[in-house]
Structure 1
Amino acid sequence: MPVGIIVQKRRINHPWQEWTWEPVGVLPWAEEGVRWRLLTEEPDRIRYHAATMTVHLYRSDTEAYVANLDTGAPAIYVGISEGDPAAGEWEFEPSFVSLSPYEAQDRTDSAEELIERLEVPPAMLEWLEAFVAKHHEEEAFVKRRRDRIDVEQVEDGKGDPRIRQTSDVYRAPTGRGRR
């Protein structure tokens, strides 16, 4: 599904920074090819349709989508990363969009992106629920059993069997060769 990423530039009261950038919304079924279209402009806040990105759903990730739906407040995760104004880019560029909380968590491990959890629009929510209903299959939990190894077994003096030893492998090193 093509999704428009809405990014807001907001004035803040900070001694070293005048503005902050943040993703604030999405537009389902947005027009392709849009780049930094002005949506609203107020004295302390400017909103842009920064880009149109595609949300992909995968049958292998339905467990993550179910976890998202089970929260009671399903979310879409949007990320922006620093752009290169010298190369003609904006200060921040949309870099990520997903309905999978697991994928969003993986991307938060680095500090390269600012990721926001936003409310899923009703049209996208219906689309996600239909996909999960069609493709999700519950997997039965199988508890792993421990190996039956005697952990109390005493092996005094035994080292790595792959290395030939003529004496105890646990002995302290001698001072031979030192002066």
Structure 2
Amino acid sequence: MPLGVVIRKSPGVTRWAKWAWRAVGILPGAGPAEWTVLRQEGDVTEFHAGTVPLNLYVSDTEAYVHELQTRAPSIYVVLCPDTTLPNIPWKVMLATASPYEAQDYCDSAEVQVEKIVMPEGMLAWVADFVNSHHEEEAFVKRKRRDWREDEKEDGIGDPRISQDSDVYRAPRGRKAGVK
């Protein structure tokens, strides 16, 4: 599904950042756009920054189930630095419904990951995909191998002890003068 990303540019709150850029919305089914102004109020401007495909994969249904069970299911937008346009520091790189994939991108300091609440229609679309493709994996407990008492156990105990009496006892140190 094509997904438009809305980014808000607002004045920064510190002297080190003149502007604050933040993804604030998504437009499901949006057409192609590149930094189209949607709304402007004073110093605050909202842009349709770009349209990226939102792909759902059968192999990631466990992640989608996890996201759908949260209080506010969300889409994660990944923004990467861009130097091609003047005065526009970000480029929309990816949109995903998988919190696991978003977590992987959060490990990098080079990208910015924003969480945007899913609209109801998109929530229904993702839930329908999960209902169609998700298969719960059965938990398989590992089993111990059968124990056989007649098997010889090599490597038990301390090799410095030559007796068969107690293989687990610690070797005694030699006393001075005793041979």
- For normalisation by structure 1, the TM-score amounts to 0.79
Between the aligned residues of both structures, percent identity stands at 42
**RMSD, aligned α-carbons:** 2.2
Shift of 1:88: 3.2
Instruction: Give the corresponding residue for 1:12.
Output: 12
Contact 1:34/1:49 (<8 A) preserved: yes
Cα deviations by residue, 1:61-108 (Å, 9 ceiling, x for unpaired):
110000001113111001111111xx3362111112100011101111
Contact 1:23/1:79 (<8 A) preserved: no
Q: Distance in 2 between matches of 1:115 and 1:62?
A: 21
Cα deviations by residue, 1:5-31 (Å, 9 ceiling, x for unpaired):
111111122112211111111000101
Gaps of 5+ in 1: 158-179
Instruction: Give the corresponding residue for 2:35.
Output: 36
Instruction: Give the corresponding residue for 1:156.
Output: 159
Q: Distance in 1 between matches of 2:103 and 2:69?
A: 17
Shift of 1:116: 1.1
**Counterpart of 2:141 in 1: which secondary structure?**
coil
Within the candidate set 134, 137, 142, 2:135 is matched to 137
Instruction: Give the corresponding residue for 2:48.
Output: 49
Instruction: Give the corresponding residue for 1:22.
Output: 22
Q: Distance in 1 between matches of 2:37 and 2:142?
A: 55
1:78 aligns with 2:77: yes
Instruction: Give the corresponding residue for 2:2.
Output: 2
Shift of 1:148: 7.8
Contact 1:22/1:80 (<8 A) preserved: no
**Counterpart of 1:154 in 2: which secondary structure?**
coil
Who wins on radius of gyration, i.e. which is larger?
2
Which contiguous aligned blocks of 4+ residues in structure 1 show a shift greater than 2 angstroms?
A: 87-90, 143-150, 152-157
Shift of 1:145: 4.1
Q: Distance in 2 between matches of 1:54 and 1:118?
A: 16
- For normalisation by structure 2, the TM-score amounts to 0.79
Gaps of 5+ in 2: 148-152, 161-179
Shift of 1:147: 6.5
Cα deviations by residue, 1:24-70 (Å, 9 ceiling, x for unpaired):
11000101x21111001112311000000000001111100000011
Q: Distance in 2 between matches of 1:36 and 1:52?
A: 10
